[in-house]
Amino acid sequence: MRISTFSFGIVWFILLYLPFQVLFPIEVHRYGKYAWIFQYYPIFFLPLFIKKASNLFNQLDKLEIAFCMLFFLISVNFSYVSLTWISTVWIGFTLLKGFGWKIHLFGKLLFLLVPPFSLKYVLVFGFSLRLFLTKLVGSVLVKLDPNSITYGNTLVFRGEEFIVDPACEGLKMVTAFLLLLFIFMYKTNSKLNISSISCLVISFLLLLVTNFIRIFLLVTFTIPTTSSLHYLLGIILFIAILVYPLYILGEVFIPKSQTNEITLIKEKNNSFMAFGILCILLLISLLFPSEHQENNLTYNFPTNVDEFHKDLNDLPIEIAIYSQKDMYLILKTNFDPFRKAHHPRQCWEGVGYQIIQEETIFVNQVNTIRKATLKKEDTYLRLYWWYQSIGNTVSNVTDSEFEWRKLALLKKQNFLQVNIAFYSLDKFNQEKQLFTIKKVIKYFSK
């Protein structure tokens, strides 16, 4: 019965996921001894996708193992941690079938919801999602209060300031949604057709609406992010606006399977689909423009960058730090389009700072860079960063995670990540800061 199987999945979800959201604060998830449990909780749902195999190794399984081994060796050679993780896990899945157990494709996809992949989603999509939601909520708040202000990821409503921080990105909600979607598609024997695609699209729209309503209510009722009500509200909205409608959509759009023959055909198609995914990933790794890695690793950082002087010489080969009075310039290289960029948030949070406000600004009316305010106890920093191509006739400057990757792939450009930190936030010094930024951009445009 469709109701019983999907209900079983929801009960499993409630038992494994919700306690970690409600009982433990966000700091415990990030730094405490329970962090690994929270980050890897989707793996606990793997038993839902395991069943007795109808047969042991066939020729396709043997080919899949051989292909995984090749994929693993290439990934290790190119130092692709994520792709090495994929191949290792996939080999384990295929070998498990030799012991009489088969894991469905949706079960294998669970590993895309845990680190290192989930960290990539946060760093690549997190800021863009927060900025979009902030503007969306701000456009509604201004109708309730004409004096409300929206700038970057900050909302000011009725004199109260609310920062749409990483906790408000809703990417954990996205992970939970995809987890439930995998369970639902598997339990209902859904096939990839117009009905299932329509269900998927509508579900993602509902996910966006859920996150929008959550932020709107948090701002209008001034609910702090440290409050238990903050998490409880998200859970209630998640179930009411997303989980239950997802089940209704399945009843409307997705027909039930009629015979065992359909299930057998589907299992065979899943095997070919799994093999196809591996082929695509291997092709991507082989097509990787290796000259990016070679050129970046041999990049010689200058001793001086305009008025900045190089400080530390015992850093990794791809990082250089410069200083000038109350300013720091940090350069990072060795970027390739198939890896997550080293977001400054990682370094600054590692030394105790938190990004409390973040926005995209224009420089020279063309180039976009990222501007952020950092806080550590009573200390504040102003941070700017961007990606800039080097070694080209035309230097491209952007803060977009997608733009620099596109240029790196299509035009084979090498990129630096440029970070400048200032120990001053007042408006007068901000003009001087922008002047310094323009000089640094001009320096690397030579």
| Domain final position from 228, 252, 287 | 287
- Is there a contact between 415 and 404 (Cβ–Cβ < 8 Å)? yes
The reply to whether 135 and 163 lie within a common domain is yes
The reply to whether 254 and 367 lie within a common domain is no
The reply to whether 421 and 318 lie within a common domain is yes
The reply to whether 359 and 419 lie within a common domain is yes
The reply to whether 162 and 26 lie within a common domain is yes
What pLDDT is attached to residue 291?
A: 38
Q: Residue 65: which domain range?
A: 2-287
The reply to whether 61 and 188 lie within a common domain is yes
The reply to whether 155 and 77 lie within a common domain is yes
The reply to whether 280 and 137 lie within a common domain is yes
What pLDDT is attached to residue 23?
A: 41
The reply to whether 249 and 297 lie within a common domain is no
The reply to whether 376 and 248 lie within a common domain is no
Residue whose C-alpha is closest to residue 416's, from 397, 430, 393 = 397
The count of structural domains within the chain is: 2
- Whether the pTM exceeds 0.95: the reply is no
The reply to whether 169 and 51 lie within a common domain is yes
| Domain final position from 230, 263, 287 | 287
The reply to whether 273 and 389 lie within a common domain is no
Region for 103 from its dihedrals, namely left if φ exceeds 0, alpha if ψ lies in -120 to 50, beta otherwise: beta
What pLDDT is attached to residue 288?
A: 47
| Domain final position from 269, 287, 305 | 287
Query: Along the 446 residues of the chain, how does pLDDT read in single tens digits?
Result: 344 444 545 555 555 555 444 444 444 344 445 555 567 777 777 887 887 765 555 666 666 667 677 766 766 666 566 666 677 777 777 777 767 777 777 887 887 777 766 666 666 666 677 778 888 999 999 999 888 888 777 888 888 888 776 666 666 777 777 787 787 777 766 666 676 677 777 777 888 888 889 889 988 988 876 677 877 887 788 788 877 777 776 666 555 544 344 444 445 555 556 556 656 655 655 554 443 444 444 568 888 888 888 886 667 777 888 988 888 999 988 666 656 556 777 677 667 787 778 888 888 778 899 998 888 878 888 999 999 988 766 788 998 878 888 888 777 788 888 999 998 766 557 788 888 899 999 888 87
Residues forming a β-bridge with 310: 322
What pLDDT is attached to residue 383?
A: 92
